[in-house]
Structure 1
Amino acid sequence: MKLSFATLAAAGVVAMAAASVQAQELKIGYVNSDRVLRDAAPAKAAQVRLEAEFGKRDKELNEMALRLKAAADKLEKEAPALAESERNRRQRELIDQDREIQRKRREFQEDLNQRKNEELAHVVERANKVIKQIFENEKYDLILQEAVFAGPRADITDKVIKALNAQGGK
């Protein structure tokens, strides 16, 4: 069976096209989101803001817990010498104080978590904009934020952190 010149030429073109596609590598990047949210200046600034906003309240709750423990220790030492009615009254007061501290601690934790999520969302939004800029400027085909394994060649986390730091820690 004879192959015509046209058939051979078509086969050659297809083979060259396949080789050309294989020669073009995909440009893939990977960003370690945890590192960005830990090391970038905006993330650090957010942490400082949260500590400033919630530090005093946390300290007050810890001091209340220490006072309650001291009062419980005092009651334990004095309990044998107290009348039963006085001992019961003081125990109820300690239980009420403990409930109040637990309630305030829950409220504190809820408020802190809400603010953390707000700050985190702001940092993530900025990081995503930076990642998109890198994607477009450097002509990436794909950038991943979650990966089981990623080699150092694909890791662009340092570029993202550097770009975020250049924007400032607002």
Structure 2
Amino acid sequence: MKASHRTLVRNLAATLLVVLLAAPTTALAETRIGVVKLNRLFEEAPQALALQRSLTEEFAPRERELRSKQEELVALQERLQQSDGFMSEDERRRVEQQFRDGQRDFQRTQNEFMEDLNLRRNERLGELQRLFIAEIQGYASSQGYDLVLVEGFIHASDALDITQQVLQVLQRRHQGG
């Protein structure tokens, strides 16, 4: 979650809390409040687990390619270390150049891989966050909640925690679709 979004959520929660505290006690007693631990949804929801699996599958070929390049570099480095006295000066320079070129190529490829992986992960996490928010809103509406807080709170009684119920809705949706 972006810092600006968290700040907005915290400010909104603080404002709503002030409004609720200023409301007459009868209105406050009738107010139904729930709390959702979004990080738990990201860890346990089947949609989050499926996202992780799909990212792993999507990027596995490139990760294998990186590992292969790294193994080639290690082999070249070992060849250089073991070649003292067994390799001509020209051959040694050629292998050293090949090693340096391989290191540069590996670093570039690794950086591109990490950038692509992070970009894709962030895109998918954004989609997942939107899904979670929609499900939380739907659950809260169907169960008659007046206010549902997501993170950004200092303390909440376990009695207010509806994370498990939202998680069950997400599990049913995942099984059904």
What's the TM-score bracket when you normalise by the shorter of the two chains?
0.7 to 0.9
Q: Does 1:145 align with 2:150?
A: yes
8 Å CA contact 2:76–2:95 kept in 1: the answer is no
Q: Secondary structure at 1:143's aligned position in 2?
A: strand
RMSD value, Cα: 2.0
Q: Extract unaligned runs of 5+ from structure 2.
A: 1-22
Mapped partners of 1:100, 1:153: distance in 2: 55
1:160 aligns with 2:158: no
Decide which structure has the larger Cα Rg and report it. Answer: 1
Alpha-carbon displacement from aligned partner over 1:55-110 (angstroms, at most 9, x marks no partner): 12111111210121011011110033323332222111101101101111111111
Moved over 3 A (4+): 17-22
Is the aligned partner of 1:102 residue 2:97? Answer: no
1:51 to 52, 56, 62: 56
TM-score, normalised with respect to structure 1: 0.81
Matched, 1:38 2:43: yes
> CA shift at 1:18, angstroms?
5.2
Contact 1:41 1:165 in 2 (8 A): yes
Q: How many angstroms apart in 1 are the aligned matches of 2:30 and 2:36?
A: 19
Which residues in structure 2 correspond to 1:81-92 (within 5 Å)? 81-92=86-97
- TM-score with structure 2 length normalisation? 0.78
In the alignment, structure 1 segments of 5+ residues that lack a partner are 1-16
Map 1:58-97 to 2 at 5 A. 58-97=63-102
- SS class of match (1:29): strand
Aligned residue-pair number: 153
In structure 2, what is the Cα distance between the partners aligned to 1:151 and 1:133? 22
Residues 116-155 of structure 1 show CA distances to partners (whole Å, capped at 9, x for unaligned) of 1121112111111111112212222221111233221111
1:111 maps to 116
Q: Deviations 1:27-79 (Å, cap 9, x if unpaired)?
A: 22111111101111111111111111111211111121012101101111003
Give the equivalent residue in structure 2 for 1:9: none
Distance 2:140 2:26 in 1: 23
